[in-house]
Structure 1
């Protein structure tokens, strides 16, 4: 079997908040949307934002940030320091820029408004 990644779905508290974050921060295009679902075109794959079911939302404290083991990586076509500074100016939590020996990319992690981790990746 050969598989190809086509989409990643994040279960979120506030679909509209995250829709706006990803559209405004990364210029992603909305493919489809309704009150509990948004599908974004992220280039090589799609990102789905699906509202967490009501039976689970009642157990989540207001302002809770999720801690998960998923990271969305965005290749960017601009200077990573400029991109990082632009996101920081919008109050996005961003970590330091890093790289590794013999690795052709600069990397910088950040978190969306619900605590999901994303990474900016830029060629050196």
Structure 2
């Protein structure tokens, strides 16, 4: 597997976009309502509209999976904890937790 992105939840998506794009100089590669992604080397930093709670709600580590259902099945068989696979209009995803309870995700996006 390879890491796809880290998601940061923010109530100030414009200010955060300015910071990651103009201040840090990362190239913005996605601009959707409530969702922006910036190229950051081998992975992306994604900004997701929603309440920010640094220190209480950490970033979500997202792993790319071409076939989310197959990868989920393999990882669950190895002892990972994941919820149901959800198919959206443009991509498929599945949320889980690491042993400390940190959010992780499998995504075809």
| Largest Rg, 1 or 2 | 1
Which TM class, normalised by the smaller chain length? 0.3 to 0.5
TM-score (norm 1): 0.41
Relative CO higher for 1 or 2, CA cutoff 8 Å, sep ≥ 6?
2
TM-score (norm 2): 0.46
